[in-house]
Structure formats: structure tokens, C-alpha cells
Amino acid sequence: QLTRKWWKEAVVYQIYPASFLDSNGDGLGDLPGIISKLDYIKSLGVTAIWMSPIYKSPQHDMGYDVSDYRDIHQPYGSLSDVEHLIQGCHERGIKLLLDLVVNHTSHEHAWFKESCQSRSSPKRDWYFWRDPKIDANGVRRPPNNWASIFGGSAWTWHEETGQYYLSLFLPSQPDLNWTNEDMRKATYADMEFWLDKGVDGFRIDSMNLMSKHPDLPDAPATNPDTEFQSGAMYFASGPRMHEYIREMREKVFDKYDCMTVGELGFTKDEKSVSEYVAEDRHELNMLFTGDIVDMDFGPNHKYEHCDFKLSTLKEITSLWQNSMPKFNGWNTVYMDNHDSGRSISRYASDLPQYREQAAKMLAMYLGTLSGTLFMLQGQEIGMANVPESWGFEDYVDVEGKNYYNSVLEKRGPGADMSDVLREMRLKARDNGRLPMQWNADKNSGFSTSPTPWMRVNDDYKQWNVAAQEGDDGSVLAFWREMLALRQREKDVFVYGRFAMLEEYKDSEDVFVYTMTSYDGKTALVLLNFSDAEHQVVDLKCEGWRRLLGGEGERLSLDGVRLKPYEGRLYGNW
């Protein structure tokens, strides 16, 4: 049974505000810059925008450290700019989603400042405060051995009140204590503030970290190289997680026609995922399961080397494509966001001879699957990772820099760090945050400032929007065609049933699957993830019509010869 919803059919374009378009030449993207590009965004076939945080913030983690949920980071613009943005989106039939960062606040948020005042502060319990441990030598130690996701201990000592507070990310991002009901109410009021302004929903940051094991127990020492250990089994998807989401839904979301997408870290199994999104549980509309972006993360750390294998992508794709209909849930389709490298550079190829083909092939993968489609700014023109020539000084993101420095500290000054830089070139968050490449002008047309906040990718003269506009063979034109086809044939793609072709199941080079609508329309998707040509035979689809990619009108008995990184799409109707 198909329940059609606008949020299921949405194509969501993620904007990273700092890097989209700088309208006033201060080197940082801004809200007026976004407003000036709404017609461009609309022209892609996008129906919604998710904007990374724009709230007031000291920017220790690019706005994922909010100091006032009802105010705007001044260099981005003002509240009235957001109102204009909402209006501009709605006039064009585009929905606007904000990033809801409520697992933690900034240390500069008024709540935290009050919480710091004394142990008896009325807001003390809004965060996690704990007494130190004293070891055998009488030395003060953190309350448990958890590592921060950004390195070091997850606990920060507060001299004035003689306790530690918990921060799973930076020390300037103290975790909110969701067991405190007053804190939850205050957060719900902030959510309503935005929904009342007309915002259409939220991407919920670090969603499943909001409920932690009540005892905050020590994590098992699985990594012998570090003193601090991943406590994810105790801080992710804790015992009250579903209660909080249901409460949020009852008290806030159900009053609006809004969309919710939760960021799900660390939790990957089918049953746990289903509990968030099965329709009859009335929790979230959909999730970003992290498995798609973690495919090439190392066993102990993101920046350890791990080769990407197409079979992993196939497993993850099949798992969610097949399981969502089983429990009447819904999921996202995505590969890129602001937290990692670009999919083209990690899972396909950004070498000059393959790049255009690879960008189109990945667009076909995303554009044909069932779920709500999310794309990252610049993906529509095949933007890629930074080049290997970038040095450590060119990277600006705190996560990668912290990692690099921690390794350097272990190895000692002057050590060879080329292996770490190679991994950063693949996976550093900077890659997903590169300034948008609009044209071949200075700073890719992103900013007129002599010193933009972040270095522009070296390839912008060839790879930019202006160069692709008006070129029917461009990556940009391909995305537009793909999205138009997806909208026209929603029952095949958005709501269709996925089936992988058994014959090619174990191939590490080609991915072949079909999508079928409830009324029998079937599309055949052929994707070559390798730099070799592949003849795909025995398709039993003779005479099917070409929908997108490749040449030749109909499928012949000989099957299809795929060029390196080529994607082809055929239909039986």
C-alpha cells in the first residue's frame, strides 16, 4: 500500500551557508547570496532545501555550536533575511528545512553560562556535570574513559565549580541533558519559533545521541593505542531515545505539516532503524543512516585507510531498499554531506578522463532509488575533493586538524605525515564544504574577497556552473534530466521496488538493478563503478527503451557495453 507524501517525493538540496555565495564580499557566504540563487536551485528540479546551521554561534564547529537558537550568526544576515528566504522558497514551491542542533549547545549559550555559575544553579542539571575520579596516585581523572568524537577526553574540567562536564564533540559543545524536562520544553519552544515562521521541517543533528546510558559507564578498552575509548554503545540510541522523539512529535511536529530527518550515528542494524521510522510508531519521517558515508572509514578511526568496495555499497543499498517496505518505513537516498569527502572522489573517480562520466553515473544511482533524495551543493556539477597538492595549512576543519595533530604528536616533530594527508584528501570534511564553483572568475565567483574563509578548489576554472549551463552534455544537464525523469515516474523510482540482478551480485565493478512500480513499469539500471569497459549480458530486457545515458535507442540481445564509470537506464514502457 502506497502512502504518498510530499516529503517522500522531495529532492533536497543541502546548502552549506558559509560556502554557497558571498553577497557582500566579506569572504563568507550569506543569506542574501542564497536568496539570489533560488531560481538556479529551482531550475535543478529540487523541491526542498536543507540549510546547515545559520544560528548565532561562536563558530567553533561552523555553527554546530549554537549560542542562541532564535538569532542569526550576524555575518550570514538577519532574522528578516531568513523570513525573505522562507518567502522566496515558498513562492517557488520549495520547502525549507533548518538544521536542528539540540544534542548540545555552544559553551556561550545562556543556558550553559548559567549552568556554570554554581553547583546549585537552576540550570546545572541541563547539562552533564560529574565529580572527578581520583586515581591511585591521587591524580584527578575524568568521570569515565569516553573519547570525544573530535579527539581527547569527552570531559572538560571546570575549575570554578570543581566538576567535569560532558562534551561528545568539542569542549565548546557541552551536551544537553535530555532527562531534564524543563530543558526539553525550552528546546521545543525554540523549534516552534521556527515552525511558526514557516520553516517546513528539520534535519536533526546527532539525533540519537540525545539519550545516554543513565550511569555513563566506562567503555571497554578496544583500542590499545588510545587512553580514551569510544563510548558509542553507551551514548548512542540510549534507553529513552524513542520517548523523547515521540514527545517531540506530539508536542511540536504533529502541529505542523513538517518533515523530519534524523542523523543516525553509530546505530546501523535494521531493527533499531525500523523503530525510528516505521510509520505506525509515529516517530521520524526518515533517517540518514551513517553506513553510506562510513563505507571507507577504518576500523578504529575515520582516517585510517580502508579501500572502498562496491559490494559494500550493494549490501547497504539492498538492505534499506528492501527493508523499508517490509516495516512500512521510509529512508533517505544520499551519498554526500558536509561531514566527509565527495562521493565522486571516494567511490568513483575524479580523474579528468572519467570525472564527467562518473558524476553522471552517481547521479543515476541516487536518482533511481526509492527514498527521499538528498544532494549536496556542487554535486550537480560534479564538484570533487581537493587536489593532492593541498598541504595541512590549506585545511580548515577542526575534525581533520585535530586528528592530524594527534598523530603528529605521537610520531614526533618532523615525522612523515603523507599517509594522513592522503586520507584527509579523501575524507576530510573540508571536501564537502568547498566554496561553490559558480564561474571561472576570481574565487570561482563565490566571493570577491581577497581572503575567502576557505580556499577554493584548484579546478574551478574548468568545473563551474557557468561552463555547464547551456551544454546539453554536461553533468548539470544530466542531473536536471535525471530529476525530471524521477519526478515524472515517481511510482517507478521514488516508490518503486528494488531488485538486484543476481548474475552481477558479486561483481566489484558493475551494479545492476531494477526498479518496479506497483503497476508493472520496470526500469533497468546499469552502473559501471570501474575504469574498465564491461559487457553486461543476459539481461532478458530485449527491446527496452533507453531512458537516460548511453547511445542507441533500444536494448539488443547482446546486452550493453558500459564504458568506464558509465551509467545506463532503460525502461519496459
- Catalytic residue positions, numbered: 205, 263
CA distance 197 to 125: 30
Residue 408, φ and ψ in degrees, nearest 5? -60, -40
- Stretch of 131-139, 222-230, 270-278, 332-340 contacting ligand TEU, by CB under 6 A: 332-340
Q: Is the dihedral of CA 445, 450, 452, 457 positive or negative?
A: positive
Among 106, 285, 340, 474, interactor with ligand TEU by CB under 6 A: 340
- Side-by-side strand order, sheet with 163-166: 129-130, 163-166, 155-158
CB 263 → ligand TEU: shortest distance, Å? 6
C-alpha span between 287 and 283 (Å, rounded) = 11
Question: What is the Cα–Cα distance from 388 to 232, expressed in whole angstroms?
Answer: 33
430 binds ligand TEU (CB under 6 A): no
In the complex, the smallest distance separating the C-beta of residue 203 from ligand TEU, rounded to whole angstroms, is 9
Q: How far is the CB of 265 from ligand TEU (least distance, A)?
A: 4
- CB of 64 or CB of 504, closer to ligand TEU: 64
Contact code string over 298-327 relative to ligand TEU, x by CB under 6 A = ----x-------------------------
How many CA atoms lie less than 13 Å away from 8 in the CB half-sphere? 19
Determine, following the binding rule CB under 6 A, whether residue 61 of this chain makes contact with ligand TEU: yes
- Of 218, 216, 126, which is closest to residue 175 (Cα–Cα)? 126
> In terms of Cα–Cα distance, which of 230, 61, 233 is closest to 154?
230
The CB-of-168 to ligand TEU minimum distance in angstroms stands at 8
Contacts 24+ apart (CB under 8 A), 445-452: 446/19, 446/20, 446/21, 446/22, 446/29, 447/21, 447/22, 447/25, 447/26, 447/27, 447/28, 447/29, 448/22, 448/25, 449/22, 449/25, 449/26, 449/27, 451/27, 452/22, 452/27, 452/28
339 contacts ligand TEU (rule: CB under 6 A): yes
- Written as nine digits, the cell of 417 is 605525515
- The single residue among 30, 200, 205, 291 that binds ligand TEU, judged by CB under 6 A, is 205
Which of 48, 66, 97, 101 binds ligand TEU (CB under 6 A)? It is 101
Q: Pick the closest to residue 477 from 307, 356, 392 (CA basis).
A: 356
Applying CB under 6 A, does 64 fall inside the site for ligand TEU?
Answer: yes
Residue 124 binding ligand TEU, by CB under 6 A? no
In which residue are the cell numbers 535494521 written? 270
Instruction: Convert residues 396-415 into a mask of x (bound to ligand TEU by CB under 6 A) and - (unbound).
Output: ---x----------------
Residues 448-507 that bind ligand TEU (CB under 6 A): none
Query: Are 359 and 321 a contacting pair, CB within 8 Å?
Result: no
Strand pairing of 510-516 and 497-500?
A: antiparallel
Candidate list 206, 211, 317, 385; residue touching ligand TEU; CB under 6 A: 206
296 binds ligand TEU (CB under 6 A): no
Quick one: which segment of 122-130, 236-244, 334-342, 518-526 binds ligand TEU (CB under 6 A)? 334-342
**Under the criterion CB under 6 A, does residue 30 sit at the interface with ligand TEU?**
no
Alpha-carbon distance 142 to 164, whole Å? Answer: 7
- Closest chain position to ligand TEU (CB): 64
**Residue 515 found at the interface with ligand TEU (CB under 6 A):** no
| C-alpha cell belonging to residue 190 | 525554540
Candidates 82, 98, 147, 149: give the one binding ligand TEU (CB under 6 A). 149
Segment interacting with ligand TEU, rule: CB under 6 A, options 106-114, 234-242, 335-343, 551-559: 335-343
Query: Which residues make up the interface to ligand TEU (CB under 6 A)?
Result: 61, 64, 101, 149, 169, 205-206, 263, 265, 302, 338-340, 399, 429
